[in-house]
């Protein structure tokens, strides 16, 4: 159907994206981290579609999993209602059915059949063709995402710790596993062996008697080695990875998991050259497990490889497909400017429309201690700074999904909480480095609440004045500067447009990523002590990035695809290589005795 999907965006921005786009055949991903948000959105949509709503209170038994299951079942029901309505519409009219087919890539067999239908004369033969084509329509997949690092073990009101299966990650997994969905679960942000092992308790992750897996496993990985390690771990338990999802370490939205200087094209090249090794490594492990269980399954397809992060033109999509044989691509941040696809209120939407690259930056806002893409002008940032100025930094931490710190308490608390920040500032009060350390402490934002607020305001569930909105786009969005329709955005990446939605001056995604890695290298050196361990890391980073730049030079010599600014690669490599050498040599000079 489609070679483009819409990845997860924050907790709220894609919370209802499947309801918006799946009826048109487009797949997308919901974050199932925030069950409090999910319950509120479920109530809203049940009211909108006259579906029964029975509240699931936060303190009821297994409430997190039950809320997630109920929400996903509701989303599936609504998507089916909307999809069947589109299927029943007539051809040869300007309606949602025309929109469905208009968004398909030109080479799609369904699109080819549709174009052929449009040329047919009216009559019985055309009526038969219309019925056949309608029956071939399918809705997009309703996929979910779990950030596996977020696996807090909650407490009851009286402080009683729950048993391990009620951790946030396992409860979310259980909520998805018990839903009616036949789709994909994306596991991101590293490996969680306990969570992965828990998947064995649910039959929908295994091949059934019909040779089908109802719920496919997708792992977001940083490189080939990560894919191999995580795939083997799951294969030993008989679990098959359906897809490995590669994301640029820096040229992305949300949390950024930078590599040690390995840029995206280098990672893709390694995966392309070693792709067969994946199935050759996993297949015997799965066979061994099946034999132990007395199962006779023989369907062992090579995992799909998909890519996301910083893609802006159809030419870049074509480069990924042709050079690296990528199966699909994920496009996220640009869809924040498509109201038909994402849930974003007007204030933040307009800030994104008017944002420049200077407004978008890699921040220290996340309580997880992982670099986080942020918007300097967001209401959340304005609110955070105002609290600091008033001497009241931090958040009351009403949700607690990101708790991790035990410096001042028996149970973990969040580093964005007012409880933590006030105690930490008091501890540093007499320190000579107070001003420097203060900014590190108060820079943390309440992402649990603020990333959900935009969706709640958009749907009229919350009022804007008391609900600061955070946003986490990739820098790529600065080149998209107005509101777009869903058809426009989809066609932009399929070469169906006569004109690209971004200017020809926009640097190639590979060029931009190189600049971001040089920036990151500079910041790492500035923030780190120059001890033996760090120096070795920096030297490896430098060599890896230099090697990647050489590889990108070879790409820049190739014939460009439509709307692909391939000439920018060599220009940016030359400029950024000089910067990289200067930064590296300055570091070495600091090590040399005077």
Q: Which of 288, 307, 334 is the last residue of a domain?
A: 334
Nearest Cα neighbor of 328 from 300, 308, 348 is 308
Q: How far apart are CA 230 and CA 199, in angstroms?
A: 14
Q: How far apart are CA 28 and CA 300, in angstroms?
A: 25
Q: Which of 281, 299, 334 is the last residue of a domain?
A: 334
Q: What is the CATH number of the domain that holds 28?
A: 3.20.20
- How does pLDDT run across 382-397, given as a tens digit for each residue? 999 999 999 999 999 9
Token couple for 431? 């320190």
Per-residue DSSP letters for 339-378? TTTS---HHHHHHHHT--GGGEEEES--TTSS-EEEETT-
Q: Which residues pair with 185 in a beta bridge?
A: 144, 217
Per the domain annotation, does 528 fall within a domain?
yes
What's the confidence (pLDDT) of residue 157? 63
83-100: string of b/e by CB count within 10 Å (b at 16+)? Answer: beebbeeebeeeeebbbb
> DSSP H helical segments within 260-366, as ranges?
264-273, 275-293, 314-324, 346-353
Beta strands in 20-141 (DSSP E): 28-31
Contact (Cβ atoms closer than 8 angstroms) between residue 286 and residue 235: yes
CB atoms within 10 A of CB 560: 15
> Is 270 exposed, middle or buried, given 0-12, 13-18 or 19+ CB atoms closer than 10 A?
middle
Nearest Cα neighbor of 351 from 481, 506, 488, 489 is 481
Q: Which residues pair with 363 in a beta bridge?
A: 372
Per the domain annotation, does 366 fall within a domain?
no
Q: How far apart are CA 553 and CA 388, in angstroms?
A: 46
Per the domain annotation, does 380 fall within a domain?
no
**Residues 62, 68, 184, 472: is their CA dihedral positive or negative?**
negative
Per the domain annotation, does 586 fall within a domain?
yes
Q: How far apart are CA 560 and CA 567, in angstroms?
A: 8
Name the helix (H) or strand (E) containing 305.
Answer: strand 304-308
Per the domain annotation, does 139 fall within a domain?
yes
Per the domain annotation, does 513 fall within a domain?
yes
Residue 185 — φ and ψ, nearest 5°?
A: -115, 130
Q: What is the CA radius of gyration of the chain?
A: 25
- How does pLDDT run across 524-571, given as a tens digit for each residue? 999 888 899 999 999 999 999 999 999 999 999 999 999 999 999 999
What's the confidence (pLDDT) of residue 529? 87
Contact (Cβ atoms closer than 8 angstroms) between residue 251 and residue 264: yes
Q: Which residues constitute the domain of residue 246? A: 4-119+135-334
What's the confidence (pLDDT) of residue 156? 67
Bridge pairing between strands 372-375 and 142-147: unpaired
Q: Which residues pair with 221 in a beta bridge?
A: 246
**pTM of the predicted model over 0.75:** yes
Total structural domains within the chain = 2
Token couple for 215? 């719920």
Beta strands in 158-230 (DSSP E): 184-188, 216-221
3-class secondary-structure state, position 153? coil
What's the confidence (pLDDT) of residue 594? 44
CA 54 to each of CA 30, 46, 328: distance values in angstroms, whole numbers, following the listed order: 22, 10, 38
Extract the residue ranges of the chain whose pLDDT is less than 50.
594
Contact (Cβ atoms closer than 8 angstroms) between residue 515 and residue 576: yes
Nearest Cα neighbor of 216 from 224, 202, 206 is 206
> Is 545 exposed, middle or buried, given 0-12, 13-18 or 19+ CB atoms closer than 10 A?
buried
Per the domain annotation, does 407 fall within a domain?
no
Per the domain annotation, does 114 fall within a domain?
yes
What's the confidence (pLDDT) of residue 58? 87
What's the confidence (pLDDT) of residue 372? 94
Nearest Cα neighbor of 450 from 401, 391, 514 is 401
Q: Which of 264, 299, 334 is the last residue of a domain?
A: 334
């Amino acid at each position: 159907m489609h070679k483009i999907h819409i990845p997860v965006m924050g907790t709220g921005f894609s919370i209802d994206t499947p309801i918006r786009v799946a009826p048109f055949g487009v797949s997308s991903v919901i974050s199932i981290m925030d069950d409090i948000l999910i319950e509120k959105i479920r109530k809203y949509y049940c009211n909108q579609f006259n579906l029964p709503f029975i509240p699931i209170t936060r303190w009821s038994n297994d409430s997190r999993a039950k809320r997630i299951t109920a929400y996903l079942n509701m989303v599936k029901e609504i998507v089916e209602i909307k999809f069947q309505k589109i299927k029943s519409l007539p051809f040869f009219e300007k309606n949602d059915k025309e929109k469905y087919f208009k968004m398909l890539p030109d080479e799609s067999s369904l699109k080819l059949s549709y174009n052929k239908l449009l040329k047919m004369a009216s009559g019985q033969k055309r009526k038969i063709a219309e019925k056949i084509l309608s029956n071939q329509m399918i809705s997009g997949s309703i996929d979910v995402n779990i950030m596996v690092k977020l696996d807090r073990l909650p407490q009851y009101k009286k402080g009683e710790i729950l048993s391990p299966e009620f951790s946030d990650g396992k409860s979310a997994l259980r909520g998805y596993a018990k839903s009616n969905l036949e789709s994909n679960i994306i596991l991101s942000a590293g490996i969680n062996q306990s969570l992965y092992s828990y998947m064995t308790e649910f039959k929908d992750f295994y091949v059934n008697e019909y040779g089908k897996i109802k719920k496919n496993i997708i792992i977001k990985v940083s490189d080939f080695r990560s894919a191999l390690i995580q795939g083997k771990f799951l294969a030993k338990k008989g679990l098959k990875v359906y897809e490995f999802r590669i994301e640029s370490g820096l040229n992305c939205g949300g949390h950024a998991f930078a590599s040690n200087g390995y840029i995206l094209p280098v990672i893709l090249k390694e995966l392309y050259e070693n792709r067969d090794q994946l199935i050759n490594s996993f297949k015997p492990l799965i066979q061994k497990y099946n034999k132990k269980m007395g199962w006779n399954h023989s369907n062992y397809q090579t995992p799909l490889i998909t890519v996301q992060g910083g893609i802006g033109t159809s030419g870049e999509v074509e480069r990924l497909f042709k050079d690296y044989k990528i199966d699909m691509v994920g496009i996220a941040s640009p869809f924040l400017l498509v109201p038909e696809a994402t849930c974003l209120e007007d204030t933040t939407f307009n800030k994104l429309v008017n944002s420049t690259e200077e407004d978008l930056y890699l921040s220290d806002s996340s309580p997880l201690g992982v670099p986080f893409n942020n918007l300097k002008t967001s209401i959340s940032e304005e609110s955070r700074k105002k609290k600091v100025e008033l001497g009241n930094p931090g958040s009351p931490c009403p949700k607690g999904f990101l708790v991790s710190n035990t410096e001042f308490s028996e149970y973990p608390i969040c580093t964005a909480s007012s409880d933590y920040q006030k105690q930490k500032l008091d501890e540093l009060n007499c320190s000579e480095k107070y001003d420097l350390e203060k900014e590190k402490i108060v820079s943390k934002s309440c992402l649990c609440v603020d990333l959900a607020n935009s969706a709640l305001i958009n749907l009229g569930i919350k009022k804007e004045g008391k609900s600061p909105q955070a946003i986490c786009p990739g820098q790529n969005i600065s080149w998209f500067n107005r509101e777009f329709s869903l058809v426009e955005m989809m066609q932009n990446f399929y070469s169906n447009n006569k004109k690209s939605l971004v200017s020809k001056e926009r640097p190639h995604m590979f060029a931009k990523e190189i600049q971001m890695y040089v920036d990151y290298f500079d910041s790492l050196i500035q923030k780190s002590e120059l001890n033996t361990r760090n120096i070795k890391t920096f030297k490896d980073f430098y060599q890896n990035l230099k090697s990647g730049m050489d590889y990108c030079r070879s790409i820049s010599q190739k014939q460009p695809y439509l709307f692909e600014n391939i000439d920018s690669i060599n220009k940016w490599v030359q400029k950024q290589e000089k910067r990289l050498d200067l930064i590296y040599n300055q570091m070495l000079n600091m090590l040399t005795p005077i």
